Amino acid sequence: TQLLEQSPQFLSIQEGENLTVYCNSSSVFSSLQWYRQEPGEGPVLLVTVVTGGEVKKLKRLTFQFGDARKDSSLHITAAQPGDTGLYLCAGPPQEGYQKVTFGTGTKLQVIP
Amino acid sequence: NAGVMQNPRHLVRRRGQEARLRCSPMKGHSHVYWYRQLPEEGLKFMVYLQKENIIDESGMPKERFSAEFPKEGPSILRIQQVVRGDSAAYFCASSPPAGREQFFGPGTRLTVL
């Protein structure tokens, strides 16, 4: 079973601070997705990274896929209260394999 | 283009009753997944279905739980003789054929009294 470990598990920061969330595995993933889930809602897809070393930016969010495709990071610059939520990484272990493994999740709270 | 729809959004059942959760995938999506989420926890895979086929049910409890995705109509997750431990949020996701990304519905929150 491929596991995705996220760290930290919980993070509480002040508005305006920067933060990084990590998603690590001992297995290779063909791609990784990042989702954000707000209380009472379903996860919403933020980005997919496919190529080792790939970096994608989404406004104040920067996503990176490790060179070996075993890990990924999410960096948020100048966090805002609207960034509060549960961040989940997920990925299919093989191309074309539909079952996706979800990470353990990072719960972020941004305090105004 | 409507997203993934789930109903009901909230469901209350007494112990021993049956719960039926429905999921309509996005238009053009033929793959459906069901997940369970307990408070303060991540998503736990339950089952992966394509039209009229169960592809992977390795996350489904062996008893009381079943899922289907008929040729016509929504996917159904059925829980028979519910117990308090079944209380959770159940999420459905869908993807197109050969798609690597899943799109989630708003979930059904099941409470067993």
Contact A45 B101 (CB under 8 A): yes
Share of chain A above pLDDT 70, in %: 93
pLDDT band of residue B40 (cuts 50, 70, 90) is confident
Say what the pLDDT of residue B33 is: 94
Q: Which residues of B touch A9 (CB under 8 A)?
A: none
Q: Does A1 score more than 90 pLDDT?
A: no
Q: What is the mean pLDDT of chain B?
A: 92
Query: What are the distances in angstroms from CA A108 to CA A39, A72, B49, B83?
Result: 12, 17, 32, 32
pLDDT band of residue B101 (cuts 50, 70, 90) is confident
Q: Count Cα atoms within 13 angstroms, Cβ side, for B95.
A: 17
Unique residue bearing structure tokens 């079952």: A99
Contact between A4 and A91 under an 8 Å Cβ cutoff? The reply is yes
Average of pLDDT values for B45-69? Answer: 93
What whole-number distance in Å separates Cα of residue A83 and Cα of residue A100?
Answer: 24
Say what the pLDDT of residue A92 is: 78
Q: What is the mean pLDDT of chain A?
A: 91
Residue B96 three-state SS: coil
**What does the CA dihedral B96, B102, B106, B112 come to, rounded to 10 degrees?**
110
Q: Which residues of B touch A108 (CB under 8 A)?
A: none
Share of chain B above pLDDT 70, in %: 98
Q: Which of A31, A41, A101 sits opposite B106 (nearest CB)?
A: A41
Q: Which residues of B touch A38 (CB under 8 A)?
A: none
Say what the pLDDT of residue B8 is: 97
Q: Does A47 score more than 70 pLDDT?
A: yes
Residue A86 three-state SS: strand
- Length of chain B as a residue count: 113
What whole-number distance in Å separates Cα of residue A64 and Cα of residue A36?
Answer: 16
Q: Does A59 score more than 80 pLDDT?
A: yes
Say what the pLDDT of residue B97 is: 79
pLDDT band of residue B1 (cuts 50, 70, 90) is low
Contact A42 B104 (CB under 8 A): yes
Say what the pLDDT of residue A26 is: 87
Task: Name the amino acid, one letter, at B21.
Answer: L
Contact between A4 and A25 under an 8 Å Cβ cutoff? The reply is yes
Q: How far is B67 from chain A (nearest CA, A)?
A: 16
Say what the pLDDT of residue A37 is: 94
- Other C-beta atoms within 10 Å of B51: how many? 13
Q: How far is A45 from chain B (nearest CA, A)?
A: 7
